[in-house]
Amino acid sequence: MNNKITCIHKLLLDRFGPQYWWPGETRLEIIIGAVLTQNTNWTNASHAITNLKNENLLSVSSLLNLPVDYLAQKIRSSGYYNQKAVRLRNLILLLTESCDPETDADGNVTYDELCLDRFFAEETAVLRNRLLALKGIGPETADSILLYAGNKPVFVVDAYTHRIISRHSLIPEESDYHEIQDLFTSSLPEDAALFNEYHALLVRLGKEFCKKSEPLCMDCPLNDV
């Protein structure tokens, strides 16, 4: 199995080249994006992030002091905006648990940018459990945050990954998230950069060739697997 997993990575890298993922300028933007992309595409999530940027709200302190209903309106384009606003608030609260708050001249609670450094300094397994304890944060969202914002060696599994691997008979179609994740982590070196690139390549393949309906199997880069 190790040979097939490494072979797939090589074939995709040869075909598509490095992907330089995740789309996001800062770690906080990546964290927010991981929640906003739930049940929607990156374009819709990106519009919501742009709205926050335009009002200078992309900071831990700004998001913490923002009323949840106002935040919901700013992220409306991402869909399920009321639920996502609550999830973002709870996530921001989690990020600040290990930080020392200050109070500005207007009485607002503020946090410095070292909050994320302190948060991601914890052990990966501990962080993952803390993220998964939040309502609305599932394995894919938690692992996306850990890998892309925290640079933790955690392999992200999404619908593209599941579809590609099951179609190539590497796992049963009914396999769950952690069974698929274990397939990759047991076959590859524990390397965040490798996991990052591999996941991005699988997404590229899923979008362009291994589509949900009418897949382009004849032209697939993985025909030799």
Q: Is residue 100 part of a domain?
A: yes
Is 57 in the same domain as 140? yes
Q: Could you tell me the mean pLDDT of each successive run of 10 residues in the chain, 225 residues long? A: 88 95 82 96 94 93 92 97 98 86 63 80 97 98 97 97 96 96 97 97 97 95 88
At which of 89, 117, 149 does a domain end? 149
Is 91 in the same domain as 182? no
Is 142 in the same domain as 181? no
Q: Is residue 225 part of a domain?
A: no
Q: How far from 72 is each of 63, 83, 220, 223, CA to CA, in Å?
A: 11, 8, 40, 45
Q: Is residue 51 part of a domain?
A: yes
Q: What is the pLDDT of residue 105?
A: 61
DSSP run (H or E) holding 102: strand 102-103
Is 111 in the same domain as 180? no
Give the DSSP per-residue string, 189-225: -S-HHHHHHHHHHHHHHHHHTS-SSS--GGG-TTTT-
At which of 149, 177, 206 does a domain end? 149
Is 163 in the same domain as 56? no
Q: What is the pLDDT of residue 219?
A: 94
Is 79 in the same domain as 97? yes
At which of 114, 149, 184 does a domain end? 149
Is 37 in the same domain as 72? yes
Q: Is residue 224 part of a domain?
A: no
Range of the domain at 172: 2-21+156-219
The number of domains in the chain is 2
Tokens of 18: 């490095």
Residue tagged 């892309």 (tokens): 148
Is 39 in the same domain as 134? yes
Q: CB neighbours of 44 closer than 8 A, spacing ≥ 6?
A: 36, 77, 78, 79
The CA distance from 117 to 178, in Å, is 27
Predicted model pTM: 0.92
Residue 205, domain CATH: 1.10.1670.10
Residue 48, domain CATH: 1.10.340.30
